């Protein structure tokens, strides 16, 4: 198995960080109109929950034939899912430049928040934003489009059910959504979940949602990223859950099908176990958690039981050490950035740090360190759990790197 598969996987914690710009006040809107729009959205939500296609399509502008056809497919996808809750909240209305010309009928731009849960998997609502064009005909309001806002840079959040015919596979511990043959993803996830649960005891329910979009471009659409942002990356874990009281850095695992398919079976196993570890550790991970610990722990779990030698897992860092480029410090958060030239070495160094903790202090101490680092400095967390400060820990890690890779 080529060792450079490690360079393909970068578990990037993708936060929902972009603040939403407000819609311009003015044309349309007003209390009466807003009340009418809320009624349309409420009826639409109830139609989803009741699996009522007629009512769902009844909320769509009958003259918007292309959009109506797309919405019919969306509804067909939604009825395949174990939807536990589904609701819309009208955030604001107003006007933005529309990309389509219309007659004199009333048109209103609506910024809408969708909240939903998938039964058995989500413990809090997942939220996304849509920019809808609403039209009035004969005293009734309808949804006419969800792309007209793109002219001003406002994009409706893409979901798996928006990307063509949806396939849903349910495993023992997983729900896989996407296109094509998905059984292998469910099997990989089902095998990975017990490994993660053994390494991370506690509050994780041991279930995961895997999204497998048709193409790499569709993957970036799901993430709301630029098309080139995730080239060469096999999978990403992204945060969407709300109401946890912490900054949640993991929820859905989104697969890059092209890159993932190019990995060996062992590589696929390690990548998915790594990502599911991020899902498991979500509630214990905060902006305070150093990435060397978050990513190193996920790699430590991902490589559990693989039997790979240290020199193979840390091949890039080994090459540096043998060339006289011994790292002088633990990987910084910046070292895990997409522009970092030493990204593989950062992951490998982080993995070796967590491996060292597990071997010298025990796996339980590693878990305690992870939890402590979420709410105090790395130096304090190391002192409290391992009895050494950051400087001494770094010195031990450097010696371990030299011993294992020199």
- Same domain for 314 and 399? yes
Is residue 111 one of the residues assigned to a domain? yes
Name the percent of the chain lying above pLDDT 70.
85
pLDDT value, residue 276:
95
User: pLDDT higher for 155 or 240?
Assistant: 155
- Nearest-angstrom CA–CA distance, 122 and 132: 26
- Residue 80, phi then psi, degrees to nearest 5: -85, -10
Angle at the Cα of 214 (from 209 to 216), degrees rounded to 5? 95
What tens digit of pLDDT does each residue of 354-378 get? 999 999 999 999 999 999 999 999 9
Nearest to 27 by CA among 126, 78, 94: 94
Whether residue 47 is found in the same domain as residue 131: yes
Q: What is the CA radius of gyration of the chain?
A: 24
Domain boundary among 129, 153, 177: 153
Q: Which residues of 353-379 are buried (b: 16+ CB within 10 A; e: fewer)?
A: bbbbbbeebebeebbbbbbbbbeeebe
pLDDT given for residue 318 in this prediction:
97
pLDDT, tens digit, for every residue of 261-293? Answer: 999 999 999 999 999 999 999 889 999 999 999
Last residue of a domain, one of 287, 308, 337: 287
In a domain, 365, yes or no: yes
Domain boundary among 287, 319, 353: 287
Helices 315-322 & 343-360 angle (0-180, nearest 10)? 100
Domain check: are 83 and 147 in the same one?
Answer: yes
What are the phi and psi torsion angles at 153 (to 5°)?
Answer: 85, 10
Per-residue pLDDT tens digits for 66-90 = 999 999 999 999 999 999 999 999 9
* Domain extent for 275: 1-17+158-287
**What is the 3-state secondary structure of 131-180?**
EEEEEEECCEEEEEECCHHHHHCCCCCCCHHHCCCCEEEECCCEEEEECC
Q: How many domains does the chain have?
A: 3
Nearest CA to 44 out of 30, 31, 28, 60 is that of 60
135 forms beta bridges with: 107, 142
Whether residue 303 is found in the same domain as residue 391? yes
Same-domain check for residues 362 and 303: yes
Residue 22 lies in a domain: no
How many CA atoms within 13 Å lie on the side-chain side of 203? 9
Mean pLDDT calculated for residue range 182-193: 95
Smallest CA-to-CA distance from 372 within 359, 387, 351 is with 387
**Which tokens go with 318?**
């080994």
pLDDT at position 258 over 60: yes
Q: Are residues 402 and 321 in the same domain?
A: yes
pTM: 0.85
Residues 1 and 78 in one domain: no
Is residue 272 within 8 Å of 253, Cβ to Cβ?
Answer: yes
Select from 243, 232, 312, 323 the least CA-distant residue to 283: 243
Which segment of 14-28, 141-155, 207-221, 300-314 scores lowest on mean pLDDT?
A: 14-28
pLDDT of residue 294: 96
């Amino acid at each position: 198995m080529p060792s450079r598969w490690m360079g393909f996987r970068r578990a990037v914690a993708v936060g929902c960080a972009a603040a939403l710009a407000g819609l311009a006040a003015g044309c349309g809107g007003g209390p009466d109109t807003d009340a009418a729009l809320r009624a349309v959205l409420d009826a639409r939500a109830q139609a989803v929950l009741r699996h009522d296609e007629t009512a769902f399509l009844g909320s769509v502008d009958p003259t918007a034939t292309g959009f109506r056809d797309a919405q019919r497919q969306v509804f067909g996808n939604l009825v395949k899912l174990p939807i536990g809750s589904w609701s819309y909240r009208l955030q604001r209305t107003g006007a933005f430049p529309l990309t389509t010309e219309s007659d004199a009928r009333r048109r209103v731009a609506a910024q809408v928040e969708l909240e939903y849960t998938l039964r058995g998997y989500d413990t809090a609502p997942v939220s996304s934003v849509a920019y809808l064009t609403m039209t009035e005909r004969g005293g009734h309001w309808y949804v006419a489009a969800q792309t007209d806002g793109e002219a001003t840079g406002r994009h409706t959040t893409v979901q798996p059910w928006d990307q063509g015919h949806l396939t849903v596979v349910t495993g023992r511990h997983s729900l896989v959504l996407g296109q094509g043959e998905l059984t292998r993803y469910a099997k990989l996830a089902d095998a990975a979940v017990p490994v993660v649960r053994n390494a991370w005891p506690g509050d994780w329910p041991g279930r995961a949602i895997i999204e497998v979009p048709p193409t790499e471009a569709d993957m970036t659409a799901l993430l709301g990223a630029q098309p080139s942002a995730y080239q060469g990356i096999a999978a990403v874990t992204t945060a969407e859950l709300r109401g946890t009281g912490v900054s949640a850095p993991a929820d859905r695992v989104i697969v890059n099908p092209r890159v993932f398919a190019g990995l060996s079976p062992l590589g696929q196993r390690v990548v998915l176990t790594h990502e599911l570890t991020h899902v498991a550790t979500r509630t214990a991970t905060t902006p305070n958690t150093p990435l060397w610990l978050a990513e190193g722990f996920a790699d430590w779990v991902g490589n559990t039981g693989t039997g790979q030698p240290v020199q193979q897992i840390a091949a890039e860092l080994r090459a540096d050490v043998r060339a006289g480029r011994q790292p002088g410090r633990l990987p910084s958060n910046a070292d895990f950035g997409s522009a970092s030239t030493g990204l593989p070495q950062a992951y490998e160094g982080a993995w070796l740090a967590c491996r060292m903790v597990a071997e010298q202090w025990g796996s339980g101490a590693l878990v305690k360190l992870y939890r402590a680092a979420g709410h105090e400095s790395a130096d304090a967390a190391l002192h409290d759990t391992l009895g050494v400060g950051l400087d001494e820990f770094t010195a031990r890690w450097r010696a371990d790197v030299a011993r294992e890779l020199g």
